């Protein structure tokens, strides 16, 4: 057996005012198997919540589920001002640093989505910032012979590439299951499986786990690609996220993820000196 599972983690619901709530996943409960993922919020928002703010050292990912009522307006200090529609994604590879904000495109229309923070390795933390947008119609959809519907946002599935290509390999699949489904965990990568709705049984070799809505599990392929089998109890909506752990020291301060205190101080100085650009409040 060359795959190892984490314990099951629960995404606990938190509210920030009347216009924002999120099921926030406790990544520490996944015992290090979630890296490079550093933040995971399955959110619903109906009005402005966050003022313009900086990011550096990682990628901030915003994905809207197809059932979202409204779109999400995304602005940044690089000059982008766009609306993420249901089924679309914006991958903000903040790296050296960028200022951005997001809020519902139409106040009062509920936005249903996921915000993900994906760490960058030391060699990429100071790249120029880059924003990658994929509209819903650019996202390929595959229906397997077993009836699973797979939207490929990043990475590759069934030899089909997603429209977003981050600087470091990462797979993001949005999967609707009505029957069994198999995902092959790439050699050396961690995979995080999160159940949005429904329930399923996950197995590999003799290992078996049961998950319900707002629960997640992570696994690591130790020496070769390994298959993980997902069998829904009825229908299930699942996210499959897979990437490499940089296996480097991590230092976090607010919106900055670096390797040490010196890196955090440098990022903070760039921000206060205006080197990440400016973004005026609306």
- Token output for 155: 């990475």
Hey, what are 273's tokens? 């000196």
Report the C-alpha gap between 218 and 189 in whole angstroms: 11
Annotated binding residue 102: yes
Torsion, Cα 194 197 201 204, to 10 degrees, reads -30
Q: Is 103 annotated among the ligand-binding residues?
A: no
CA distance 175 to 157: 11
The reply to whether 55 sits in an annotated binding site is: yes
Residues making up the binding site: 53, 55, 100, 102
Residues making up the binding site for Fe cation: 53, 55, 100, 102
């Amino acid at each position: 057996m060359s795959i190892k599972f984490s314990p099951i983690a629960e995404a606990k619901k938190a509210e920030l005012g009347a216009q924002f709530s999120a099921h926030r996943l406790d990544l520490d409960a996944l015992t290090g198997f979630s890296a490079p993922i550093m933040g995971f919020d399955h959110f619903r928002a109906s009005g402005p919540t966050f003022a313009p703010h900086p990011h550096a050292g990682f990628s901030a990912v915003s994905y809207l589920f197809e059932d979202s009522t409204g779109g999400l307006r995304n602005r940044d200090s690089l000059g982008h001002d766009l609306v993420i529609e249901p089924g679309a994604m914006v991958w903000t590879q903040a790296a050296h640093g960028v200022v951005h904000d997001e809020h519902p495109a139409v106040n009062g229309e509920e936005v249903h989505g996921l915000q993900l923070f994906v760490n960058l390795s030391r060699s990429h933390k100071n790249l120029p910032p880059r924003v990658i947008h994929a509209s819903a119609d650019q996202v390929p959809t595959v229906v397997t012979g077993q009836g699973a519907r797979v939207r490929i946002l990043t990475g590759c599935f069934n030899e089909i590439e997603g429209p977003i290509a981050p600087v470091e390999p990462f797979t993001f699949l949005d999967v609707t299951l009505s029957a069994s489904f198999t995902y092959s965990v790439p050699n050396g990568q961690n995979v995080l499986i999160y159940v949005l709705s429904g329930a399923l049984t996950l197995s590999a070799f003799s290992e078996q786990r049961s998950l319900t809505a707002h629960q997640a599990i992570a696994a690591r392929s130790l020496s070769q690609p390994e298959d993980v089998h997902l069998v829904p109890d009825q229908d299930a909506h699942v996210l499959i996220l897979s990437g490499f752990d940089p296996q480097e020291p991590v230092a976090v301060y607010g919106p900055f993820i670096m390797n040490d205190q010196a890196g955090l101080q440098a990022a903070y100085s760039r921000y206060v000196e205006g080197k990440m650009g400016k973004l005026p409040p609306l």
